[in-house]
Homo-oligomer: A and B are copies of this chain.
Amino acid sequence: MNRCRVAVAQYALGHTIDTNLEQIADAVHNAVDEGAELVLLPELGHLPYFCIEEDAQYFSLAETIPGPASDHYAGLAREASIIVVATLFEKSHGDVYHNTAVVYDKDGSIAGTCRKMHIPNDPGYYEQFYFTEGTQGFHPIETSLGRIGVMICFDQWFPEAARSMTLNGAELLLYPSAIGFDPDDNDSEQIRQRNAWITIQKSHAIANGIPVMFSNRLGREMAKAETGMTTDFWGSSHIIGPFGEVLAKAPVDRPAVITADIDPEESGRVREIWPFLEMRRIGFYDQS
């Protein structure tokens, strides 16, 4: 990986997919205007967060990869000549459904895909109703910019996932996300949850000497059904340097395209001073 500028976009999404796609196009063009060579979009970034409820009608949103939505992202990447990392509701062979990140290279080609490995099933995040967990493990995707390790939202809570991706050669970790407050939680609980989310992702940078970027959805989304289920997605997208320092961050309550310069030599310097990867006691860790 060479020194490069990367971007993260966050924006509010609704049930009108055409409007969502317009916002995405604007965000991608903003990223290009800022000099970025890669832009990370939020999880399921052109769809409503339908996992807020269990309703089989939403399976109609799933598409094959390639397919119409995927072709749209590919065209956007090619036209703007920027790497786009998007996640799609994937319908694979045999009606198996996945939450899948797709990396479109600057020429619009698909550099690779990875399916979400850890599928949550909390109230308002009924993802196990829709998605089968990935079986590909944690392997970076080779792009024209370098090897990037993409994991999806809930995957971020597992240090062993970030570790595996780094040991397998990733030079940059990316987490498209969809996470928010339960409006019924009080302020201190909301702050505790958001801080934990930011902290765990900083920790992946520190433990592995690697830059980390994570995107998030923004604003209120509600179930169509009368469950009253409501989530206030908390934005707060970040770009983090290889020793956990904040390079750029987005606000909790407004759309944003943030950018930062990633210097792979800085990862090397950090790993020389704090050689954690080198000093692991392989064979002593209990993993089950």
Residues of A within 8 A of B (CB): 117-118, 120, 122, 133, 135, 137-138, 154, 157-161, 163-164, 167-168, 192-193, 195-196, 199-200, 202-203, 206-207, 243-245, 273-274, 276, 279-288
Complex Cα gap A244–B159 (Å): 15
Complex contacts, A120 vs chain B, CB 8 Å: 279
Complex contacts, A283 vs chain B, CB 8 Å: 288
Complex contacts, A160 vs chain B, CB 8 Å: 159-160, 163, 280, 285, 287
CB closest residue in chain B, given A122: B273
Of B203, B273, B285, which one neighbours A287 at CB under 8 angstroms? Answer: B285
Complex contacts, A280 vs chain B, CB 8 Å: 118, 158, 160
Q: How far is the CB of A182 from chain B (nearest CB, A)?
A: 10
Q: How far is the CB of A279 from chain B (nearest CB, A)?
A: 6
Complex Cα gap A193–B242 (Å): 12
Complex Cα gap A243–B160 (Å): 18
Assuming A133-B281, A244-B195, is B207 touching A274 (CB within 8 A)? no
A-B contact pairs, 26 of them (CB 8 A): A118-B280, A122-B273, A133-B281, A135-B284, A137-B286, A138-B285, A138-B286, A157-B276, A158-B280, A159-B163, A163-B287, A167-B286, A167-B287, A168-B286, A192-B243, A192-B244, A193-B243, A199-B206, A200-B206, A200-B207, A200-B244, A202-B203, A203-B203, A282-B287, A285-B287, A287-B287
Of B158, B195, B279, B284, which one neighbours A207 at CB under 8 angstroms? Answer: B158
* B164 adjacent to A285 (CB under 8 Å): yes
Complex contacts, A281 vs chain B, CB 8 Å: 117-118, 133, 158, 161
Complex Cα gap A5–B24 (Å): 51
Assuming A285-B161, A285-B287, is B196 touching A206 (CB within 8 A)? yes
Complex Cα gap A193–B270 (Å): 11
Complex Cα gap A82–B196 (Å): 32
Complex Cα gap A192–B243 (Å): 7
* B203 adjacent to A159 (CB under 8 Å): yes
Q: How far is the CB of A274 from chain B (nearest CB, A)?
A: 7
CB closest residue in chain B, given A137: B284
Complex Cα gap A200–B199 (Å): 8
Complex contacts, A117 vs chain B, CB 8 Å: 281, 284
Complex contacts, A287 vs chain B, CB 8 Å: 160, 163-164, 167, 282, 285, 287
Complex Cα gap A138–B287 (Å): 11
Complex Cα gap A276–B154 (Å): 9
* A159 adjacent to B118 (CB under 8 Å): no
Of B133, B244, B279, B282, which one neighbours A196 at CB under 8 angstroms? Answer: B244
Q: How far is the CB of A78 from chain B (nearest CB, A)?
A: 33
